[in-house]
């Protein structure tokens, strides 16, 4: 896909060649293949292609793609003057605001890898991710100055006042250049830093475009956090497609509904809870969305049928999608016209992607969902850097599902009993590990409980010899976990359900919940 570049390299057939600096390994790979592939620098290329087009609208700000390049260039100069050299890894912690945008564009321009920290994490969680990532600097919005105490912290206000040093940006970006890193917890409960490369982002955007279409005049409403792949992928699509973003720092049902009715945006990404609020607002006003609005992309777990019907009545085409941090957004997407015929499905894998069910020989056979495609992460950083992301060429998602005879994916059970609460992933193992730090708790099991507002909320089952209240547990956990991961209900039990090899059976916990 990306540009070819010739590399002159002679293999010196002697042990002297070992003295070569292996950090220059792109050259070695190029040597192996004969040619290397490069993408354009999408900030400068986009500024050259469509300089006057609106790239992003945020509050009173309206930046063209030329503005984005100017902002990025200036920020890259400031990054350098605070000691961040091109190609280095930084971490960033901020709510959605103008400075965060500047840092995102600036880091990309400067060739830095960005570790996106979730603003809802506890201090302990932040500390872990920052240490694991080995970032040279942590760029922190001033409002979060107290959340992270480290010598590596550089506040946005410091950055803002920094002098602008001279920098030049690379004309081309290697496909395996890590653009972004996001932490996600797996079965073990230990967060792993997932690399998202230029190729991951580009091919994800391409496969999406060849499914839902793209128009130079599209505007994507983004109210997702920018530190999530759901939000950051909108930034990447904007640069790749040359389309606008209408960015919101917080979900604002009234203003967003205004935009949908006025047709000032064409696309929007939502999770179930957001959709419900928009529908309520539209119903309250007794209005339809504009015919200019094209697609609502719904991720983070299934959308209830009732919402789909209400959305249809309001003229909203909903595309349900299945994606994850490791796949830089969508892997499969269900077309609006299939929503009723394929209730509960997450659609078919997009043009460049493949899905198969581990061990399945026929449609409807259930097994672990495996994913392949150029959008799949090449791997992790930090402690998990040596753990391959794929086995035998496939990403093992941990999710369980099946494909029907037409190749539509149905997710039966989320990975590691994943709980999705308001679009955020909560891994039971991670919550259990935190609960077990409590000196009086002997055993813990966590599962999800259906919740009208959030889809699911975490519930704890604990074994203890003393009296522990939900409130005291919650208070204890607030030092260790982001608020959305803290159980909303607690049950004290004599014993946890375990199999013969003493493995916790979280599905049994769910049955207990249902029987209560």
Nearest CA-CA partner of 80 in 182, 196, 169: 169
* Cα-trace Rg, the chain: 23
Q: Which is nearer to a copy of itself, 47 or 256 (CB)?
A: 47
Q: Which is nearer to a copy of itself, 37 or 251 (CB)?
A: 37
The binder of a copy of itself chosen from 27, 164, 249, 470 (CB under 8 A):
27
Considering only the stretches 16-24, 278-286, 447-455, 461-469, report the one whose residues sit in contact with a copy of itself under the rule CB under 8 A: 16-24
Beta strands in 248-366 (DSSP E): 267-270, 295-298, 318-324, 329-334, 345-349, 354-357
Q: What is the DSSP letter of 240?
A: I
301: how many CB neighbours lie within 10 A of its CB?
A: 24
Shortest distance in whole angstroms from residue 191 CB to a copy of itself? 20
Q: Which is nearer to a copy of itself, 203 or 230 (CB)?
A: 203
The binder of a copy of itself chosen from 352, 463, 468, 505 (CB under 8 A):
352
The torsion defined by the Cα of 281, 285, 287 and 293, in degrees rounded to 10, comes to -40
Shortest distance in whole angstroms from residue 267 CB to a copy of itself? 13
Please give the distance of CA 159 from its chain centroid, rounded to a whole number. 26
Q: Which is nearer to a copy of itself, 29 or 436 (CB)?
A: 29
Shortest distance in whole angstroms from residue 345 CB to a copy of itself? 14
Shortest distance in whole angstroms from residue 438 CB to a copy of itself? 40
183 contacts: CB under 8 Å, gap ≥ 6: 115, 117, 118, 129, 132, 191, 192, 193, 194
Phi, psi dihedral angles at 296 (to 5 degrees): -110, 115
From residue 388, how far is each of 128, 279, 381, 393 by CA, in Å? 21, 42, 11, 10
Q: Which is nearer to a copy of itself, 268 or 460 (CB)?
A: 268
Residues 184-223 vs a copy of itself: string with x where CB under 8 A?
Answer: ---------------x--xx--x--xxxxxxxxx------
Evaluate the CA torsion angle 287, 288, 290, 291 in order and state its sign: negative
Shortest distance in whole angstroms from residue 40 CB to a copy of itself? 7
Collapsed DSSP state (helix, strand, coil) of residue 114: strand
Please give the Cα distance from 421 to 309 (Å, whole number): 22
Q: Per rule CB under 8 A, is residue 359 in the interface with a copy of itself?
A: no
177: how many CB neighbours lie within 10 A of its CB?
A: 19
Q: Which is nearer to a copy of itself, 232 or 241 (CB)?
A: 241
Q: Per rule CB under 8 A, is residue 29 in the interface with a copy of itself?
A: yes
Q: Per rule CB under 8 A, is residue 469 in the interface with a copy of itself?
A: no
Please give the Cα distance from 448 to 487 (Å, whole number): 9
Please give the distance of CA 189 from its chain centroid, rounded to a whole number. 17
Q: Per rule CB under 8 A, is residue 23 in the interface with a copy of itself?
A: yes
Q: Which is nearer to a copy of itself, 392 or 494 (CB)?
A: 392
The binder of a copy of itself chosen from 305, 351, 442, 483 (CB under 8 A):
351
Following DSSP, what letter does each residue of 123-190 receive, concatenated?
HHHHHHHHHHHT-SEEEE-GGGTTT---TTEEEHHHHHHS--------SEE-TT-EEEEEEEE-TTS-
**Which parts of 240-299 interact with a copy of itself (CB under 8 A)?**
240-242
The binder of a copy of itself chosen from 6, 10, 60, 502 (CB under 8 A):
6
Q: Per rule CB under 8 A, is residue 31 in the interface with a copy of itself?
A: yes
* Strand (E) or helix (H) holding 112: none
Residues 369-408 vs a copy of itself: string with x where CB under 8 A?
Answer: ---xxx-x-xx------x---x-xx------------xx-
Nearest CA-CA partner of 261 in 315, 215, 212: 315
Classify burial at 366, counting beta carbons within 10 Å of its beta carbon; exposed 0-12, middle 13-18, buried 19 or more.
middle
Q: Which is nearer to a copy of itself, 69 or 456 (CB)?
A: 69
The binder of a copy of itself chosen from 10, 18, 291, 501 (CB under 8 A):
18
**Which parts of 45-74 interact with a copy of itself (CB under 8 A)?**
45-46, 48-49
Q: Per rule CB under 8 A, is residue 354 in the interface with a copy of itself?
A: yes
Shortest distance in whole angstroms from residue 436 CB to a copy of itself? 34
- Cα distance from N-terminal residue to C-terminal residue, the chain: 55
Shortest distance in whole angstroms from residue 129 CB to a copy of itself? 20
Considering only the stretches 8-16, 94-102, 122-130, 359-367, report the one whose residues sit in contact with a copy of itself under the rule CB under 8 A: 8-16
Binding residues for a copy of itself (CB under 8 A): 1-6, 13-15, 17-18, 21-33, 35, 37, 39-40, 42, 45-46, 48-49, 174-176, 199, 202-203, 206, 209-217, 240-242, 348, 350-354, 372-374, 376, 378-379, 386, 390, 392-393, 406-407
């Amino acid at each position: 896909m990306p540009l070819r570049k010739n590399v002159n390299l002679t293999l010196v057939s002697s042990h002297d060649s070992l003295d070569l600096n292996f950090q220059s390994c792109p050259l070695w790979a190029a040597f192996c293949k004969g040619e290397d592939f490069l993408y354009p620098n999408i900030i400068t290329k986009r500024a050259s292609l469509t300089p006057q087009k609106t790239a992003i609208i945020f509050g009173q700000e309206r930046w063209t793609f030329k503005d984005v390049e100017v902002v990025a260039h200036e920020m890259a100069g400031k990054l350098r003057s605070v000691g961040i050299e091109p190609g280095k890894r930084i971490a960033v912690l901020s709510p959605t605001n103008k400075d965060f945008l500047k840092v995102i564009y600036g880091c990309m321009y400067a060739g830095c890898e960005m570790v996106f920290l979730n603003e809802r994490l506890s201090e302990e969680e932040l500390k872990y991710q920052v240490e694991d990532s080995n970032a040279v600097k942590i760029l922190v919005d001033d409002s979060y100055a107290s959340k992270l105490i480290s010598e590596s912290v550089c506040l946005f206000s410091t950055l803002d006042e920094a002098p602008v040093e001279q920098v030049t940006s690379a004309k081309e970006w290697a496909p395996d250049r890590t653009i972004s890193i996001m932490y996600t917890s797996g079965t073990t409960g230990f967060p792993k830093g997932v690399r998202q490369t230029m190729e991951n982002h580009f091919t994800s955007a391409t496969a999406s475009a060849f499914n839902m279409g793209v128009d130079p005049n599209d505007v994507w409403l983004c109210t997702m956090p920018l530190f999530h792949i759901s939000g950051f992928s909108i930034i990447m699509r904007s640069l790749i497609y040359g389309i606008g973003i209408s960015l919101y720092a917080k979900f604002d049902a009234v203003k967003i509904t205004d935009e949908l009715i006025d047709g000032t945006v064409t696309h929007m990404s939502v999770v179930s809870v957001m959709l419900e609020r928009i529908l309520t607002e539209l119903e309250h006003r007794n209005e339809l969305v504009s015919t200019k609005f094209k697609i609502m992309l719904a991720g983070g777990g299934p959308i209830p049928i009732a919402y789909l019907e209400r959305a249809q009545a309001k003229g909203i085409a909903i595309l349900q999608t299945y994606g994850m941090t490791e796949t830089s957004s969508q892997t499969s997407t269900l077309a609006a016209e299939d929503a009723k015929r394929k209730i509960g499905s997450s659609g078919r894998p997009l043009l460049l992607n493949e899905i198969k069910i581990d061990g399945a020989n026929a449609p409807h056979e259930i097994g672990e969902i495996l994913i392949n495609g150029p959008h799949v992460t090449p791997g992790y950083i930090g402690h998990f850097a040596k753990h391959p992301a794929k086995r035998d060429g496939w990403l093992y998602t941990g999710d369980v599902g099946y494909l029907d005879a037409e190749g539509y994916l149905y997710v039966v059970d989320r990975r590691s009993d994943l709980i999705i609460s308001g679009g955020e992933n909560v891994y039971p193992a991670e919550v259990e590990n935190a609960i077990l730090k409590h000196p009086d708790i002997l055993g813990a099991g966590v599962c999800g409980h259906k919740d009208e507002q959030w889809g699911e909320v975490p519930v704890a089952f604990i074994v203890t010899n003393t009296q522990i209240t939900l409130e005291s547990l919650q208070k204890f956990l607030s030092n260790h976990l982001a608020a959305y991961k803290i159980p909303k209900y607690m049950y004290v039990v004599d014993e946890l359900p375990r199999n013969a090899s003493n493995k916790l059976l979280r599905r049994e916990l769910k049955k207990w919940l249902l029987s209560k």
